[in-house]
Structure 1
């Protein structure tokens, strides 16, 4: 987990199933994040049982790849006993960190399972240095910044904290603010904050003669910005996609790995080649933000 300013940020890849896990490992990811059958904000992904996770961890450890477990849904009072069992198991397995948005998870983990490293999810909606400071107060060692930030805003936050910072560089965008959207609950009766988003923003809308996918965002692609991001004090560049197939994960990880490893003299050419490579990863139209 890089913290020194001169080191490259780690490339963090998604794994929604076993095949995607190995695709990330085999194509250059420095770290992988995944969810369990419970408490994941991607409940529709295949996800993993604790037993499956225990079998996969040695493969990551052999390659010196970190594994972070997303417990990034909101937790009800009735779910607290199950949460305690999961946290105990993850502590025993010595995973490299957990990703959470619920302050209750931070409190329980910090006081009862101090071995666990805590990462504040993008769903915690941290948009400024004050938010980073608050997450640090809760016990976070890393903060995943909100996707809505500009390069300059990210740079300013990085200058004002020694906490590890992580940003998304590729994948789906939400029409709303990270972690603050209630459209799924309103339109579909399922909470996106508990991993069951029905994505009403992807629907086709019609009013009179006007119609279209007005709320459906293009996918984010920050390949062209990676040379600048490498110079900031960032700990990780994150690829969204726990719902994506292994083939997608493999291609996107390859593309970002090439740009991260490119020398300054070769960056422009490598970025162009990486964009060509991304054409092999089926996705929505891409945008730089």
Structure 2
């Protein structure tokens, strides 16, 4: 039987709403971006006031909030760093995630009691590098995504340091994000928050001919990308737990609240089920099926079990397509009338089969038979974005439960 401590489930939060849903659906901690020094400039990054509200919400659940400050800084990026880190500490942030030694030093000088975790951008792939950061006083390293399960075991055997590793989400085709495609094609610096994701663009295939460059793509072919499949360890999570990973990290600060809630819900269930009975643990196929209800690309285990092959590349038509749209958010439920107040997020109506789900992996399906607008008038469809509706529900639901509709 395992004697491992239950690892932290760390979720992305691109804005305040996503932060609350990630924690409500089971995350032990979230990582966010502020208005400076982060690699997701297009995410709904947090103001200091929003950070303070997020920290206050997280405290109610016993959760933590980390801030990504993981750019590779140029001279002009260093202005204001000391003031920024000092303010992060004052609003109650638990740790920052950094890769650049200049920013690490700035944080230590301005806020010596604020934890610093070394970012995946630093490409930690071996135990000697982990030991270096341990000796520098950093309590945690976020491993490079090119590390295998066996290498994680070796790192933990040699260094007493917290290990954070990705378990789900997008993978960068370049080595730990060290890419200049975006810089070259769009003059947007991928390592300073401006990645244009050029690797995911659709390309034609050419060869050099005697009379110039010749397009050899068939017009009916799928366009080519330089992109990898997404990572998913949903079927292999015990391997990472037994290897000694302390924080299991989900990628996706740009993803929707439906994606965040669904993925967090699944991994929360797997972690808890494993620690309830490690010896008798069996993977439930429903957990795997649930992952596919969140919009995403094809999935692989990336580098965890050896070098990826062409089968882990993203090209051609997807093998499986997302099955569900996020249709509505539960705001209230009246047990006497069995009506739920639902905020519309996608078109739904009478006759549609929908699925409700909430934290702790509770779910049920039903067909909508009664639907009313906010004034109590019967309607056939909820067509307008964010409109408030009343829906007759077969089973009790709760605030912030979600309603899906199969595509």
Task: Give the TM-score normalised by structure 1.
Answer: 0.94
Question: Is contact 2:169-2:232 (8 Å) kept?
Answer: yes
Corresponding residue for residue 54 of structure 1: 52
Structural mapping, 1:134-283, within 5 Å: 134-206=132-204, 207=206, 208-210=215-217, 212-262=223-273, 263-264=277-278, 267-270=281-284, 272-283=285-296
For this pair of structures, how many residues does the alignment match? 284
* In structure 2, C-alpha distance between the alignment counterparts of 1:128 and 1:111, rounded to whole Å: 28
Question: Is contact 1:106-1:139 (8 Å) kept?
Answer: no
Shift of 1:93: 2.1
Question: Is contact 1:201-1:216 (8 Å) kept?
Answer: yes
* In structure 2, C-alpha distance between the alignment counterparts of 1:97 and 1:124, rounded to whole Å: 17
Runs of 4+ in 1 over 3 A off after TM superposition: none
Question: Is contact 2:55-2:92 (8 Å) kept?
Answer: no
* In structure 2, C-alpha distance between the alignment counterparts of 1:19 and 1:213, rounded to whole Å: 35
Q: Which moved more, 1:106-115 or 1:26-35?
A: 106-115
Corresponding residue for residue 43 of structure 2: 45
* In structure 2, C-alpha distance between the alignment counterparts of 1:125 and 1:183, rounded to whole Å: 19
Q: Which has the higher strand share?
A: 2
Q: Which whole-Å deviations, capped at 9, do the CAs of 1:131-181 have from their partners, x for residues lacking one?
A: 212222443211000011111111111211111110000000111111322
Shift of 1:7: 0.7
Q: Which has the higher helix share?
A: 1
Task: Give the TM-score normalised by structure 2.
Answer: 0.67
Corresponding residue for residue 357 of structure 2: none
* In structure 1, C-alpha distance between the alignment counterparts of 2:226 and 2:281, rounded to whole Å: 34
SS in 2 for 1:149: coil
1:73 to 71, 86, 94: 71
* Pair member with larger Rg: 2
Question: Is contact 2:140-2:164 (8 Å) kept?
Answer: yes
* In structure 2, C-alpha distance between the alignment counterparts of 1:111 and 1:83, rounded to whole Å: 10
Q: CA RMSD in A?
A: 1.5
Q: Which whole-Å deviations, capped at 9, do the CAs of 1:205-230 have from their partners, x for residues lacking one?
A: 22122373241211110112211112
Give unpaired runs (5+ residues) of structure 1: none
Question: Is contact 1:171-1:221 (8 Å) kept?
Answer: yes
